[in-house]
Amino acid sequence: MSDTHHTWLWEKLGERCVKNLNKHGFDAHFTDSAEAARSLILDMVSTYASFGFGGSDTTRTLGLPKALKRDGKTVYDHWEPEPGMTDLEIRLKQGRCDCFLCSANAVAATGEIVNVDGVGNRNNAMTFGCPRVVIVAGMNKVTSDLDSALKRVREVAAPMRARSLNMETPCAETGICTDCNSPQRICRITTILHRKPMMTDMSVVLINQALGF
């Protein structure tokens, strides 16, 4: 498949996904590039003062933490901890910011968002605590339906993430989920956003590129 046809196919899938996400109460957008998504998101959140970030390669590829820091915003990011703050303190702060930014493990074109955490700070901050949440995801994370979204997390996102973190889990070695009981297992808490949480202003920005795991 040529790049042009691949882009076209993702665009059509993205349009269907955005339509169903909006139907489910989310404020959903489709963008052609990481640059366009970055501009859109920074405009969306410009009035907020404090920001939390989940453990996301996508938000960092877009340069969002650095851009917000340059604008004088308070940023809580456990990947780049502030001096004097513990990892736990930062994760707790993330869940009480003005705005929380993160990615998703999978987004179903039928309008659901799937996330699997090890600690739970992302799932907690996404669902309640921060009045404003922005989820950004590449089209490589969009699947046809909820079942395939859950399958993507298990077969694609989790093994790759465990490998990237050098976790001592079977999937990080073999690439295959065995539903392990490893002490370093990262799949411990699963949330499915079937609809927008009642008290949270939530946007979803899809990007017509492959980003993150």
- Mean pLDDT, the chain, whole residue set: 96
Alpha helix segments (H runs only) across the chain? 3-23, 34-44, 57-61, 64-70, 87-94, 121-127, 146-152, 158-164, 170-174
pTM of the model: 0.95
pLDDT band at 82 (very low <50, low <70, confident <90, very high): confident
Q: Give the distance between the most distant pair of CA atoms in the chain.
A: 51
Helix-then-strand count for the chain, H and E? 9, 10
Q: Residue 112 has what pLDDT?
A: 99
Q: Residue 83 has what pLDDT?
A: 87
* Each residue's pLDDT tens digit, 109-162: 999 999 999 999 999 999 999 999 999 999 999 999 999 999 999 999 999 999
> What are the boundaries of each domain within the chain?
4-105+114-143+195-207
Pick among 3.40.50, 3.30.110, 1.10.10, 1.20.140: CATH of 4-105+114-143+195-207: 3.40.50
Residue, of 51 and 4, whose pLDDT is higher: 51
Q: Residue 2 has what pLDDT?
A: 65
pLDDT band at 8 (very low <50, low <70, confident <90, very high): very high
Query: Phi and psi of 122, rounded to 5°?
Result: -65, -50
Q: Please state which of the ranges 1-10, 50-59, 65-74 shows the lowest mean pLDDT.
A: 1-10
Distances (CA, A) of 201 to 27, 66, 109: 8, 23, 20
Give the mean pLDDT of 42-68: 96
- Residue 111, both tokens: 């309008």
Q: How many CB atoms lie within 10 A of CB 123?
A: 20
